[in-house]
Amino acid sequence: MDIKLTFENEGVVLAWVVELQQVNAPGLTFLSSPSDYLQVGVWNHPKDAILKSHIHNIHKKNTDRTSEAVIVLSGAIHADIFSENQLLIGSTTIAAGSVLVCLKGGHGYKILEENTKVLEIKNGPYFGPEVDRTTFESQCISCQLG
């Protein structure tokens, strides 16, 4: 796997960053572990490749948290990664062409450039901000600056 940066706390992977242009293996490369709440893969198939039509079967999946991936399409963001106890584990800049996958813990963002565009993907269903998340004050000094 071509992971650029991993954030861990007490042996648990909280989040990771991949520069998508660096994932060059042919075919389908899954960047996530099969047990992760969010499955992330990169397609790198040749022209005219055919992927078999399919449906996803209905079966129960027990998840107790929301995980998310943010893909920076243009511009850049600053990302903070927090432990489950809301302690800052690390920070990084995510530039265009990279994905940040947040599996556990917390996260916060600051937009760094005008015209930044980010695609966010997370598992559902979504029950709204009151049920789905708990906000807290960031310890990141750069996020508190104007």
Domains of the chain and any CATH numbers: 5-46+64-144 (2.60.120)
Could you read off the pLDDT of 82-110 as tens digits, one per residue? 999 999 999 999 999 999 999 999 999 99
Q: What pTM was computed for the model?
A: 0.84
Pairing of strands 12-19, 5-9: antiparallel
The CA distance from 62 to 42, in Å, is 25
Residues 6+ positions from 144 with CB-CB distance below 8 Å: 138
Question: How is residue 34 written in tokens?
Answer: 């099969």
What is the pLDDT tens value at each position of the chain, 146 positions in all? 466 788 999 999 999 998 888 888 888 888 888 888 888 888 888 888 888 888 888 988 888 888 999 999 999 999 999 999 999 999 999 999 999 999 999 999 999 999 999 999 988 777 777 887 888 887 665 555 44
Residues linked to residue 100 through DSSP beta bridges, in sequence order:
17, 70
The CA distance from 79 to 92, in Å, is 5
The CA distance from 82 to 90, in Å, is 7
Q: In what order do the strands lie in the sheet with 98-102?
A: 5-9, 12-19, 98-102, 68-74, 117-122
